[in-house]
Structure 1
Amino acid sequence: MQQTTNTILMIRPVNFRMNEQTAVNNYYQKVIDNLLPETVNTKAQQEFDAYVEKLKTIGVNVVVVNDTKEFDTPDSIFPNNWVSFHENGNVGLYPMFAKNRRLERREDVLIRLEEEGFTINQIVDYTSAEDEEVFLEGTGSVILDRVNRKAYCALSPRADEDLFIEFCEDFEYTPVIFTANQTVNADRMAIYHTNVMMCLGETFAVICLDSIDDKKERKNLINHLKENDKEIIDITEAQVNNFAGNMLQVKGVNDELYLIMSQAAYNSLTASQIERLEKHTKIMSSSLDTIEACGGGSARCMMAEVFLPKN
C-alpha cells in the first residue's frame, strides 16, 4: 500500500465562477467585485495552467481533462469530490450536495484513465444517496491513511456519518469521526470539507486542532495519528482560512516527496512550521488566488489522486 502517488487527475475549467449552490455552507467563497465572469474564468485557467506546469516540472504525471461546456459546472476544477481511485482497481463515485456539481461526474474521464493504461476493476457507486439528501464528497470529506487503513472524516452537511461508515466497510478502513468547526459571524459552524483543516502525509499530519471543539474527539484523533507515528503540525484557524490545511503530498521525479499547496497557504505558515515540514518533504507552492476566492477550495481540492494499477 502506498500513501502517495505520482499520478494526478485534474480538470481544466471552462466556466469557472463562484458557485452559488455551494456558497450556502462553504464559508470560504467570496465574490470578487468588478470582475466579469469571463475574466474570472480566464484568471482561473491561467492559475490552473501554471500550477499543472509546476507539477510536471517536479516530475508529477498530470492527466488533464478539459471540462465541457455542455453543462453548467463552475466547480469542475475540484474533481476529488466526486471520484476516488484505489490500488485494487476500484473507483468510488460520491453523492454531491450541490445539484450542479452532480453534473461533474463523467464517464469519459474514467475512459481517459483507461486509455492512459490504468485498470478499473469495479465502480463503487454511492450517488443514489443524493435521493435521500445524504452526501459524502469523496476525498474532500474523507482523508485516507491508505497504509494504516484509517479514514478520517469531519462530519458536516456534506459528510454523512452512516454513509462514511458504509464507505469504510466497503473499502476496508477504520473510521475516525469528529466534528471540525470554524467561526462564522461569531457562530461555530461545521467546516464543509475535512481536507480544508487536515492533510495527511507519509510521516506527518497538518491539522487545525483548535477546530475540533470536542476534547474527546480531539484526543481520539491525536491518539490515532500518534499510533501511526505521524508528526502533528498544528495550524491555526487563520491559517485554515488561507488554505494551509488544503495540501497534498505527492511523488515527483525518482519518487521524491513533495507537499503541494497554494502560495497563500505557504505565505501563512510560520518559519518553524515550514522547517518542521521540510524535515519530511520538499514543498511546492503555486498562486491560486482567484480559484481560492471564488471556489472556496485550493491546491488539494484540484487534484484527484490516481492509485489504480497499470495494465
Structure 2
Amino acid sequence: MQQTTNTIVMIRPVNFRMNEQTAVNNYYQKVLDGLLPETVNAKAQQEFDAYVDKLRAVGITVVVIEDTNEHDTPDSIFPNNWISFHENGNVGLYPMYAENRRLERREDVLFKLEEEGFQINQIVDYTSAEEEGVFLEGTGSLLLDRENRKAYCALSPRADEDLFIEFCEDFEYTPVIFTANQTVDGKRKAIYHTNVMMCLAETFAVICLDTIDDKKERKHVVENLKQDGKEVITISEAQVNNFAGNMLQVRGKDDKRYLIMSQAAYDSLRPAQIELIEKHCDILSSSLDTIEACGGGSARCMMAEVFLPKA
C-alpha cells in the first residue's frame, strides 16, 4: 500500500462562488464584497489553471475535468468530498451535507478515469445516508493512513461516527476518532472537515493539536501517529485559519515527494516549521486566495487522489 499517488483528479469550476448552503458550518468562508459572481469565477479559474500548471511542471499527473452548467454547483472545485479512489479498484461515494453539493457527483468522472486506463472494480455507495440526515464527506472527513491502515476522523455535522465506523469496516481501516474545534465568536465549534486541521504524509503529520480540546483524545491521536513512526509537526489555530492544515503529499517525476499547499498556508508557516517539513520533502505552493475566501477550502480539498490499479 502506498500513502502517496502521482495521479489526481481536479474539477475546473464554471460557477464558483461562495456557497450559502455550506457557510452555515464552514466558518472559513468569507463574503468578498463588491465582486461580481463572474469576476469571482474568473479569478478562481485563473488560480485553478496556475495551480494545475505548477503541479504538472513537477511531473504530477492531473486529470482535469471541466464542470458543467447543468446544475448550480458552486463547490465543484472540491471533488475530494464526494469521491475516493482505492488501490483495490474500489471507489467510495459519500453523503454530502449541503444539498447543492450532492449535484457534484458525476458518473462521467469514472468514465474519464477508465479512458485513462484505470480499473474500477466496485462502487461502495454511502449516499443513501443523506435521506437520514447522516453525512461523511470523503477525504475531507476521513484522513487515510493507507500504509498503516488507520483512518483519522474529527466528528462534526459532516462526519458521522457510525458511518465512519462502517466505512472503516468496509475498507479495512482502524478508526481513530476525536473532536476538533475552532473558536467562532468566542464559542468552541466543530471544525467542519478533518483535513483542515491535519495532514498525513508518509513520514510525518502536520496537525493543530490545540483544536483537540479533550486531552485524552489529543494523546490518543499523537500516540497513533508516533506508533507509526510519523514525525508530528504542530501548527497553531491561527495557521489553520490560513489553511496550513489543508495540505497533501503527492509524488512527482521520478517518485519525488512534494507537500502541496496554498501560498497563504506557506506564508503562515514559521521558518522552523518549513525546515521540519523540508527534511521530509519539497514544498510546492500556489496562490488560492479567491478559492480559499469564497470556498472555505484550499489546496488539499481541490485534489482527489487516484490510487486505482491500471487496467
Coarse TM-score class (shorter-chain normalised): over 0.9
Per the alignment, residue 83 of structure 1 pairs with: 83
Per the alignment, residue 266 of structure 1 pairs with: 266
- Asked whether 1:55 is paired with 2:55, we answer yes
Per the alignment, residue 168 of structure 1 pairs with: 168
Per the alignment, residue 98 of structure 1 pairs with: 98
Name the CA distance, whole Å, in 2 between partners of 1:134 and 1:20.
Answer: 20
Q: Within 5 Å, which residues of 2 pair with 1:187-206?
A: 187-206=187-206
Shift of 1:203: 0.2
Q: Within 5 Å, which residues of 2 pair with 1:296-311?
A: 296-311=296-311
Name the CA distance, whole Å, in 1 between partners of 2:310 and 2:243.
Answer: 33
Percent identity over the alignment is 82
Shift of 1:235: 0.2
Per the alignment, residue 235 of structure 1 pairs with: 235
- Amino acid in structure 2 at the alignment position of 1:194: T
Per the alignment, residue 15 of structure 2 pairs with: 15
- Amino acid in structure 1 at the alignment position of 2:101: R
Per the alignment, residue 225 of structure 2 pairs with: 225
Shift of 1:255: 0.3
Name the CA distance, whole Å, in 2 between partners of 1:40 and 1:131.
Answer: 33
Per the alignment, residue 281 of structure 1 pairs with: 281
Q: Give the TM-score normalised by structure 2.
A: 1.00
The count of corresponding residues between Structure 1 and Structure 2 is: 311
Q: Give the TM-score normalised by structure 1.
A: 1.00
Per the alignment, residue 209 of structure 1 pairs with: 209
Segments of 5+ residues of structure 1 without an aligned counterpart are: none
What SS is found at the alignment partner of 1:72?
coil
Name the CA distance, whole Å, in 2 between partners of 1:110 and 1:53.
Answer: 23
Per the alignment, residue 28 of structure 1 pairs with: 28
Q: Deviations over 1:98-153 (max 9, x none)?
A: 00000000000111000000000000000000000000000000000000000000
Shift of 1:68: 0.5
Shift of 1:63: 0.1
Per the alignment, residue 110 of structure 1 pairs with: 110
Name the CA distance, whole Å, in 2 between partners of 1:171 and 1:281.
Answer: 28
What SS is found at the alignment partner of 1:84?
strand
Shift of 1:271: 0.1
Q: Deviations over 1:5-48 (max 9, x none)?
A: 00000000000000000000000000001000000000000000
- Asked whether 1:293 is paired with 2:284, we answer no
Per the alignment, residue 147 of structure 2 pairs with: 147
Name the CA distance, whole Å, in 2 between partners of 1:19 and 1:132.
Answer: 22
Shift of 1:269: 0.1
Name the CA distance, whole Å, in 2 between partners of 1:309 and 1:68.
Answer: 28
Shift of 1:261: 0.0
Give every structure 1 segment of 4 or more consecutive aligned residues whose post-TM-superposition deviation is greater than 2 Å. none
Per the alignment, residue 251 of structure 2 pairs with: 251
Q: Deviations over 1:200-251 (max 9, x none)?
A: 0000000000000000000000000000010000000000000000000000
Shift of 1:304: 0.1
- Amino acid in structure 2 at the alignment position of 1:237: E
Name the CA distance, whole Å, in 1 between partners of 2:4 and 2:212.
Answer: 26
Q: Within 5 Å, which residues of 2 pair with 1:116-135?
A: 116-135=116-135
Q: Deviations over 1:160-205 (max 9, x none)?
A: 0000000000000000000000000000000000000000000000
